[in-house]
Amino acid sequence: MPLNHTSQHSELTEDQYAALGKAVVEWANIEELLGAVVGRLLATPDFLARSFTDAMSAVRVQTVLTQAIEIHRVRYQCRLVRENFLDELTAINAKVTALRTTRNRIAHFCWMRTNDDELWGTNFSGGMPSPKKEKHGYTTLTMTDLSALHDKSYTVVEQLLSILEQLPKVKEETLLTSPIAGP
């Protein structure tokens, strides 16, 4: 049974629901923008790139981004994308990695209100108990934690938007002028 449905005292407040929602919305923005950045680095039209990246987990998109950055560094020797730009992308990718653990807990844990300022969540993991499961099977978040997560995520979204604006967009129309295969 979901924890927040067990009693009126465990039901999340509207502010707590809103804080969790803000974190989820910004994460969705991060995932979408990471996919778009990958597509642009790989010189692929946005729609075509999304057809591949949409099916990938966020961690997989981050791995592909890391690979695309290295291709530009090593194979293209920063001739197409400046090194400082690639460094900025690497730093943003590291920020996303740091945010992912908390995001995953928000998305995959069951939450209840400890009090108006704190939420308690658990993943109700099955299997045999272990010290690792005990350590990672539950967490608490304060409203301040959630606000900080939102602020950090929002900043990453703004940085990704700025990056995306600077990367050239490949237009589908340029690909559709003549067939690339067939008779």
Separation between Cα atoms, residue 19 and residue 5, nearest integer Å: 18
Q: pLDDT at position 171, please?
A: 86
The region that residue 170 occupies, defined by phi over 0 for left and psi between -120 and 50 for alpha, beta otherwise, is beta
Residue 31 counted as domain residue: yes
Q: Print the domain residue range for 161.
A: 12-171
Residue 98 counted as domain residue: yes
State the total domains in the chain: 1
Residue 40 counted as domain residue: yes
Residue 179 counted as domain residue: no
**One pLDDT digit (tens) per residue for the chain, 183 residues:** 455 555 667 899 999 999 999 999 999 999 999 999 999 999 999 999 999 899 999 999 999 999 999 999 999 999 999 999 999 999 999 999 999 989 988 988 989 999 999 999 988 766 555 666 556 678 899 999 999 999 999 999 999 999 999 999 988 887 777 666 666
Q: pLDDT at position 176, please?
A: 73
Q: State the pTM of this model.
A: 0.85
Residue 6 counted as domain residue: no
**Angle ∠(167,176,55) on CA atoms, nearest 5:** 60
Residue 3 counted as domain residue: no
Residue 131 counted as domain residue: yes
Name residues whose C-beta falls within 8 Å of residue 9's C-beta, 6 or more positions apart in sequence.
Answer: 113
Residue 177 counted as domain residue: no
